[in-house]
Amino acid sequence: MGQGAAVDRLMAGMTLKEKIGQLNLLPAGQGLVTGAQAPTTLSQRLDAGQVGAIFGTKSLASARAMQERALAGSRLGIPLFFAEDVIHGHRTVFPLNIALACSWDMALIEATSAHAAAEATAEGLHQVYAPMLDISRDPRWGRVAEGPGEDPLLASRIAAAATQGFQGAGLGTPERVAACLKHFVAYGAPQSGRDYDNVSMAWEDLIETYLPPFAAGIEAGAASVMVAFNAVNRLPMHANAPLVEGWLRGCQGFDGLVVSDYTGVKELVAHGLGPAPVAVARALHAGIDMDMVGEDYLNELPALATEGLAARTAGLAMSPAAVRRLIDRACRRVLTFKARLGLLDDPFRGMAGKAPARAEGRALARKAAAQSAVLLKNDGLLPLAPGSRMALIGPFAADRANMLGTWAVSGRAEDVVPLDRAIAALTGQAPTVCWGANIVDEPWLEARLNCHGTTVTRDPREESALLAEAVAAALAADVVVAAVGEAKEHAGESSSRLAVDLPAPQRRLIAALAGTGKPLLVVVFAGRPLALGEAATQADALLYAWHGGVAGPEGVADLIFGAAEPSGRLAVTLPAHPGEVPLTYACDTTGRPWPGRFGKFLTGWLDMPDDAPRFPFGFGLGYSAVRYGRPILCRHAAHADETVTLLLGIENTGNRPALETVQLYASDPVARVTRPGRKLIDFQQVALAPGEAREVRFAVTADQFRYPMAPTLETVEWVRDPGMVGLHVGPNSRDTQEVALTWLD
Give catalytic residue positions.
261
Least spacing, CB of residue 692 vs ligand NOJ, in Å? 43
Work out whether strand 723-730 and strand 541-544 pair parallel, antiparallel, or are unpaired.
unpaired
H/E element, 193: none
Distances (CA, A) of 626 to 11, 623, 661, 692, 694: 62, 10, 10, 10, 11
Least spacing, CB of residue 686 vs ligand NOJ, in Å? 35
Biggest alpha carbon–alpha carbon distance for the chain:
81
Nearer to ligand NOJ, 180 or 556 (CB): 180
- Residue 389: is it exposed, middle or buried by C-beta count within 10 angstroms (0-12/13-18/19+)? exposed
CB–CB of 479/518 below 8 Å? yes
Least spacing, CB of residue 267 vs ligand NOJ, in Å? 11
Which of 493, 534, 580, 642 lies at the binding interface for ligand NOJ (CB under 6 A)?
Answer: 493
Nearer to ligand NOJ, 293 or 401 (CB): 293
Nearer to ligand NOJ, 180 or 688 (CB): 180
Q: Residues 168 to 207: which contact ligand NOJ by CB under 6 A?
A: 182
Q: Residues 102 to 121: which contact ligand NOJ by CB under 6 A?
A: none
Nearer to ligand NOJ, 145 or 483 (CB): 145
Least spacing, CB of residue 721 vs ligand NOJ, in Å? 39
The whole-angstrom separation of Cα 436 and Cα 464 is: 10
List the x/- string, 35-74, binding to ligand NOJ by CB under 6 A.
----------------------------------------
Which residue in the shown chain puts its C-beta closest to ligand NOJ?
129
CB–CB of 548/93 below 8 Å? no
Q: Does residue number 291 form part of the binding site for ligand NOJ (CB under 6 A)?
A: no
Rg of the chain over all Cα atoms, to the nearest angstrom? 27
Q: What are phi and psi of 360, to 5 degrees?
A: -60, -45
CB–CB of 432/391 below 8 Å? yes
The whole-angstrom separation of Cα 63 and Cα 485 is: 37
The whole-angstrom separation of Cα 405 and Cα 455 is: 10
Least spacing, CB of residue 264 vs ligand NOJ, in Å? 8
CB–CB of 100/155 below 8 Å? no
Count of positions on this chain that bind ligand NOJ (CB under 6 A): 6
Least spacing, CB of residue 248 vs ligand NOJ, in Å? 17
Which of 62, 70, 85, 369 lies at the binding interface for ligand NOJ (CB under 6 A)?
Answer: 85
Nearer to ligand NOJ, 147 or 395 (CB): 147
Q: Does residue number 261 form part of the binding site for ligand NOJ (CB under 6 A)?
A: yes
CB–CB of 595/614 below 8 Å? no
Nearer to ligand NOJ, 117 or 471 (CB): 117
Nearer to ligand NOJ, 98 or 207 (CB): 98
Which of 129, 297, 628, 698 lies at the binding interface for ligand NOJ (CB under 6 A)?
Answer: 129
Which residues lie below 8 Å from residue 398, measured CB to CB, with a gap of 6+? 392, 418, 419, 420, 421, 433
Which of 44, 65, 251, 262 lies at the binding interface for ligand NOJ (CB under 6 A)?
Answer: 262
Least spacing, CB of residue 83 vs ligand NOJ, in Å? 8
Residues in the chain: 745
The whole-angstrom separation of Cα 490 and Cα 573 is: 19
Q: Where are the beta strands (DSSP E) in 668-730?
A: 679-688, 693-700, 707-709, 717-719, 723-730
Question: Using CB under 6 A as the criterion, which residues of the chain lie in contact with ligand NOJ when the complex forms?
Answer: 85, 129, 182, 261-262, 493
